[in-house]
Structure 1
Amino acid sequence: MTSSLFSHAPEPEPEGARAPVADVIENCVVPRETDEAFRGFHEYPHLWWPAEFTDFGEGTHVEFEGGALVETSEGDETEIRAAVQEIRPGELLELEWNPGTGSTSVSIAFTAEGPETAVTVRHTGFDTAPDGAAQREEAGALWRNVLQRYARFMGAR
């Protein structure tokens, strides 16, 4: 085959598309009306948030403060876990998880089910993270444990 002055190099193969990473969806039902269920989640995480899911471990104080979910160590070191994007008391809490790191999003919805409240956590955005599958696995374990502890705190059996 003779090369032509006008021949072009073959088109490069497109990069393989990454497989989509599913959202994490966890839920629980607590024996409280929506306003009280929301307050238990938003105002009292320091009483129920599992220490094994904090950066500082045992003795960590977890609270929503200044528009963020903040962890404070016994030595007063702080770590911002999430930035609050939207808050509708009794209905919804939207968070930017691990802000500033190409973060993911968390939506916590509170829905009345008779005298009880269904609490649904949806953690999204793993597709854009370089290690999205690993982050999704960690987030799944986190939210399962967080909701179990929260539900017990709120009186669920």
Structure 2
Amino acid sequence: MDGLFSHAAAADQPVPEHRTRTVAVSVPVPPAEAFAAFTDLIHLWWPMELHSAYGPGSHLGFEAQALVEESDDGREQVWGAVRSWAPPSSLVLDLGFGVGPGEPSRVRVDFDAESGGTAVAVAVDGGSRTAGSVDWEPVLRRFARFMGVAGASLRIDPEE
């Protein structure tokens, strides 16, 4: 009767590894302003041409404990759930972009005061869905440019 159910895990199957990757950028504003710009103004800076369900004409925003994209014709795509909202220091999301089965990626955004501004760090603990495949480097570059930093250099910690 072993293996009768297709969803039963075999004892000798490896558990998938989760890797964490961190990308950070510095912006010349205090943490409260950086947090507000990242969350309240995400529709102004997020690169919809790179990461979007509906394309450049859509709108991204936080509503009802979720990150939601709305198309120009009113369709909505829930990208993920807000797990922690702790202004001005951090934001934690489970992003899965509403597609396919699997575990969402845990995305933590930290806003740490530093000399002359705020270090904004995005750490992704890769689940098996698309949030882990978001290229956070151009996303943070776009955020930095929105915050007035031309030619922002990123700090990238390799996968652990």
Q: TM-score range by the shorter chain?
A: 0.7 to 0.9
Distance, in Å, in 2 between the alignment partners of 1:16 and 1:111 is: 40
Distance, in Å, in 2 between the alignment partners of 1:55 and 1:125 is: 20
Aligned to 1:107: 108
Distance, in Å, in 1 between the alignment partners of 2:17 and 2:94 is: 20
TM-score using structure 1 length: 0.78
Q: 2:138 aligns with which of 120, 145, 148?
A: 145
CA apart distance, 1:15: 3.1
The 1:120/1:74 distance shift into structure 2, 3 A limit, reads same
Retained in 1: the 8 A contact 2:65–2:81? yes
Name the % identity.
Answer: 32
Q: Which amino acid aligns with 1:117?
A: T
Cα deviation 1:67-123 (Å, max 9, x = unaligned): 111100011110111211111111000111126842121100000002310000011
Distance, in Å, in 2 between the alignment partners of 1:152 and 1:25 is: 19
2:85 matches 1:87: yes
Partner-residue secondary structure (3-state), 1:17: coil
The alignment covers a number of residue pairs equal to: 137
The 1:96/1:21 distance shift into structure 2, 3 A limit, reads closer
Aligned to 1:3: none
Distance, in Å, in 1 between the alignment partners of 2:119 and 2:77 is: 29
Ranges in structure 2 where 5+ consecutive residues have no aligned partner: 1-9, 151-160
2:37 matches 1:36: no
CA RMSD of aligned residues (A): 2.2
The 1:89/1:55 distance shift into structure 2, 3 A limit, reads same
CA apart distance, 1:151: 0.7
TM-score using structure 2 length: 0.77
Ranges in structure 1 where 5+ consecutive residues have no aligned partner: 1-12
Cα deviation 1:20-71 (Å, max 9, x = unaligned): 3422211111111100000000100110100120111111100111111110
The 1:19/1:103 distance shift into structure 2, 3 A limit, reads closer
- After superposition, residues 121-132 of structure 1 pair within 5 angstroms as 121-126=122-127, 129=128
The ranges of structure 1 where at least 4 consecutive aligned residues each deviate by more than 6 angstroms after the TM superposition are none
Aligned to 1:55: 53
